[in-house]
Chain A
Amino acid sequence: MNDIVDRAFAILPPPIPNPGDAAAARRIWLRARIAAIVEDSRIERLRANSDVLTIAALDAIAPLVAFAFGAPPLAVLAVFVAAHAAASFGVLQAGS
Chain B
Amino acid sequence: VNEAELEALYCALAPRLRRYLARLCRSDAVAEELVQEAFFRFLRTGFPGSDEEERTRYLFTIATNLARNRWSRHREHAPLESVTASACDPAEQLHLAVDLNTALDKLGPRERALVWLACAEGYDHQDIARILGVGRASVRVLLFRARRKLASLLETGS
Contacts and interface: CB of A to CB of B under 8 A. Distances in A.
Interface in A13-47: 13, 15-18, 21-22, 24-29, 31-32, 35-36
Contact of A8 (B6, B44, B84, B154): B154
Contacts, number: 91
Contacts of B103: 8
Interface of B: 3, 6-7, 9-11, 14-16, 18-19, 32, 36, 39-40, 43-44, 83-86, 89, 93, 96-97, 99-100, 103, 115, 119-120, 147-148, 150-152, 154-155
Given A5-B147, A18-B15, A24-B14, 16 more contacts: A1-B147, A1-B148, A4-B96, A4-B151, A5-B154, A8-B97, A8-B103, A11-B97, A17-B14, A21-B10, A25-B6, A25-B7, A25-B10, A28-B36, A28-B40, A29-B3
Interface of A: 1-2, 4-9, 11-13, 15-18, 21-22, 24-29, 31-32, 35-36
